[in-house]
Structure 1
Amino acid sequence: MSHPHGRTALTALLPLTLTAATLAYATEANGPVVTDAVSAAATTLTVAKDGSAQYTTVQAAVNAVPANNASRVVIAVAPGTYRELVKVPSDKPHVTIQGTGASRKDTVIVYNNAAGTQKPDGSGTYGTGGSATVAVEADDFQARNLSITNDFDEAANQSLSGHQAVALRTAADKVFLDGVIVTGDQDTLLLDTAAKDKLGRVYVSDSYVLGNVDFIFGRATAVIDRSVITLRKRWDGSSAGYVTAPSTAADRKSILIANSTVNGDVSSGSFYLGRPWHAGGDATLDPQTTVRNTNLSAAVKSTPWTDMSGFSWKADRFAEYKNTGAGAGSASTDRPFLTDAQAAGQEVADWLGDWTPTAS
């Protein structure tokens, strides 16, 4: 397994402005490769808080991307904490937001909206999807070498109804999150699609996702690969939570966690790997989470799946395959394992189909 701690920051290899015909490199033995052809077509926009770049906010750079752009635009963001909301609209595909620091911790995009937060214009609350610090609605989006955070303070807002607070929401196809940290508590990472009948593939690699309740969720066809999923305590210091809450249509693949680690400073046997989210009470959905070839800490319950809102997990698609660690356990009727034959059809490539994520 390629562990995020040992991964060279991809952007440490990049100059602030990309030049054609000079950017061909590999991140690591089994990592993505940037080709000259892709890079030659790229345009770079620069962001720095201190005014030393083209823009002082990430959103200003996104706004400068031409609508319906045909080639890659790299938004190179200098180290700093950017407290802002960022939205990449659906008519701005092929955008990369990339931190230029030595570490993914150096460049942070952060905000603190929650589902129950009132909008400034008085038009109501944000709702879960609207609470996202970064919202991606454009296809072929990439994020690299940075942190995306929702730091909503649950303890200080106990009177607020709706503590779901999304750090990153994706509602697009071919989204590649490479070498990032996504941090929140409840509903950290919303992996959605543009519409119920639309395919939305997301590939997360060499990254960290932190949270406690349903913090990897949605209806996208999503892979968390070679990453660390960190379980966090609740606002009151208690240990209890759910890693995934898929809400997939019956004919689509949902969440695959592979070649990764699930850990965190929480109590033993306190977290479920997932539960079925039938969004809107839709009984036609067939939520799916597969966790395979992953190291599970003792924090994972011996019966790692549970029901949600009256829907039984056993009626949906939840399974494991060849996990390791103190939380791995053994197969039972309450803990289904894939057979070798089943597992052969639930590889990363099966999720991604004709898409091969390539850094650009």
Structure 2
Amino acid sequence: MLTIKVEKSGGDYSVIQEAIDAVPYDESAVIEIGAGVYKEKIFCEKKDITFVGSGMAETVIDYDDYANEVMPDGSKRGTFRTYTAFFGGKKVTVKDMTIRNSAGDGRVVGQAVAVYADADVCRFENVKMTGCQDTLFCAPLPVAARQQNGFMGPRMMTERRLTKQYYKNCEIVGDVDFIFGGADAVFDDCVITCNDRMFGRSSAGVSASSTTIASGASGSGVDKDQIDVSERIINGYVTAACGLKDNLGFVFRNCTITGASGCEKGSVFLGRPWREEARTVFLNCTMDDSIAPERFSGWGGITKDEPNTFYGEFGTRIATGIGAEGSNTASEAPNSGAEAGKPASLEHKNPWVRDIDESLATEITRRADELVQGVNGDGSL
């Protein structure tokens, strides 16, 4: 197996993309990335490659492409060409680093992907992925786009194939639909944080223009993402799945899901369906009171009926000491003294959201464990 070292100085390479390009497709390789901020847009399409950083706080890959950027031909870049890191091929493992898209507020720049995970088998451990709208894309794409060239990017013309993805001890930060796609993906012991989009409040981090857009510049109360904020503040949606009904979908286990400090109570939804058969469940997770009482939203309206989805929770508990009402930031959870308190109430959930019973939770866990074992093994799923 090849081992290649990337360092700001003294390594085999100083540029990550050059190290990737040096690996023959059929050769297994480990690319060790030293401390520092690497301002790069990387593309990896290899058979079996592992990226190992020097730590979540030490190794940072950063880029700032965004969907509303006008390209030389006059078209917009669109969502799927904005990635900071694209991971394709057969198998990819990523450990001990941060990957971010620093383009900024989606109300101004549109979608901005940090990680485009598209390998047949993907494993991420101790990785922080951070952005605003559409931080993490768990491929594949839906079969068809809703608008012409809506999927412009590296997989627009390819046949869709189901990927298997595992996220362990990761931190994922964003706001609108920031974990999205059609993969079967299991998230274990992750910290998921929705940004505070600061509706009606000034901040050095948000421009006056984005505040105007957020409040509905035309007076309609609908921002550019068609999120109605005229009657209620919505900071974001954690997931936007598009998998098929017989697939596993997104499974979150023993994760901490919160709004960042300052997020309004009830302003964060656990998800909305990018396609009508979306599947997302949360098992034995800890959440704060920024999570909306309806739990999941419909696509195009909070209470829109979504009978074909498979959305639900089991064993959710409400945390104290983190998120909207606490003094700690969500990124410090769950090891900052925050404690899971009483069970979450699903009394006001949308009627198509499931209050999963123990038997069903056990079955979902079995399927999730099978995926994890395959990803952690030889990748033969």
**TM-score in same-fold range (> 0.5):** yes
Partners of 1:123 and 1:331 in 2: how far apart? 49
Q: Is the 8 A contact 2:296 2:349 kept in 1?
A: no
1:270 equivalent among 239, 243, 267 = 267
Q: Is the 8 A contact 1:222 1:351 kept in 2?
A: no
1:1-360 equivalent positions in 2, closer than 5 A: 42-50=1-9, 52-69=10-27, 71=28, 73-89=29-45, 92-100=46-54, 103-119=55-71, 121-122=72-73, 124-154=75-105, 158=108, 163-193=110-140, 197-234=160-197, 235=206, 240-263=235-258, 264-265=260-261, 266-278=263-275, 286-309=277-300, 312-326=305-319, 328-330=344-346, 334=350, 335-347=353-365, 349-350=367-368, 352-353=370-371, 355-357=374-376
Q: What is the deviation of 1:351?
A: 6.3
Which secondary structure does the structure 1 equivalent of 2:68 belong to?
coil
- Please give the TM-score of this superposition, normalised by the length of structure 2: 0.73
Q: Deviations over 1:299-340 (max 9, x none)?
A: 101111111147733331100001111582235662521111
Partners of 1:200 and 1:59 in 2: how far apart? 23
Q: What is the deviation of 1:196?
A: 6.0
Partners of 1:359 and 1:144 in 2: how far apart? 17
Q: Is the 8 A contact 2:31 2:52 kept in 1?
A: yes
Which secondary structure does the structure 2 equivalent of 1:342 belong to?
helix
Q: What is the deviation of 1:352?
A: 4.3
Structure 2 counterpart of 1:174, one-letter code = V
Q: Is the 8 A contact 1:165 1:185 kept in 2?
A: yes
Which secondary structure does the structure 1 equivalent of 2:37 belong to?
strand
Q: Is the 8 A contact 1:269 1:300 kept in 2?
A: yes
Percent of residue pairs bearing the same amino acid type? 27
Which secondary structure does the structure 1 equivalent of 2:307 belong to?
helix
125-134 or 79-88: bigger deviation: 125-134
Q: Deviations over 1:187-224 (max 9, x none)?
A: 00000137665220110001100011100000000111
Q: Is the 8 A contact 1:201 1:352 kept in 2?
A: no
Which residue of structure 2 aligns with residue 32 of structure 1?
Answer: none
Count of residue pairs the alignment pairs up: 301
Q: Is the 8 A contact 1:273 1:305 kept in 2?
A: yes
Which secondary structure does the structure 2 equivalent of 1:60 belong to?
helix
Q: Deviations over 1:254-312 (max 9, x none)?
A: 1111111012211211100000002xxxxxx5111101100011110111111114773
Cα distance change of structure 1 residues 352 and 167 upon mapping to structure 2, 3 Å threshold? farther
Structure 1 counterpart of 2:132, one-letter code = D
Partners of 1:229 and 1:316 in 2: how far apart? 22
4+ runs deviating over 4 angstroms: 194-197, 235-239
Partners of 1:206 and 1:298 in 2: how far apart? 22
Cα distance change of structure 1 residues 312 and 131 upon mapping to structure 2, 3 Å threshold? farther
Which secondary structure does the structure 2 equivalent of 1:117 belong to?
coil
Structure 1 stretches of 5 or more lacking a match? 1-41, 279-284
Q: Deviations over 1:112-137 (max 9, x none)?
A: 01112234x54733211110000111
Partners of 1:304 and 1:191 in 2: how far apart? 22
Which secondary structure does the structure 2 equivalent of 1:222 belong to?
strand
Partners of 2:129 and 2:366 in 1: how far apart? 21
Q: Is the 8 A contact 1:74 1:97 kept in 2?
A: yes
Q: What is the deviation of 1:358?
A: 5.5
Structure 2 counterpart of 1:99, one-letter code = G
Which secondary structure does the structure 2 equivalent of 1:347 belong to?
helix
Structure 1 counterpart of 2:33, one-letter code = V
Q: Deviations over 1:83-135 (max 9, x none)?
A: 1100112xx121111112xx31110000001112234x547332111100001
Q: Is the 8 A contact 1:147 1:180 kept in 2?
A: yes
Structure 2 stretches of 5 or more lacking a match? 141-154, 198-205, 212-232, 320-342
Q: What is the deviation of 1:239?
A: 5.7
Q: Is the 8 A contact 1:276 1:312 kept in 2?
A: no
Partners of 1:128 and 1:200 in 2: how far apart? 19
Q: Is the 8 A contact 1:88 1:137 kept in 2?
A: yes
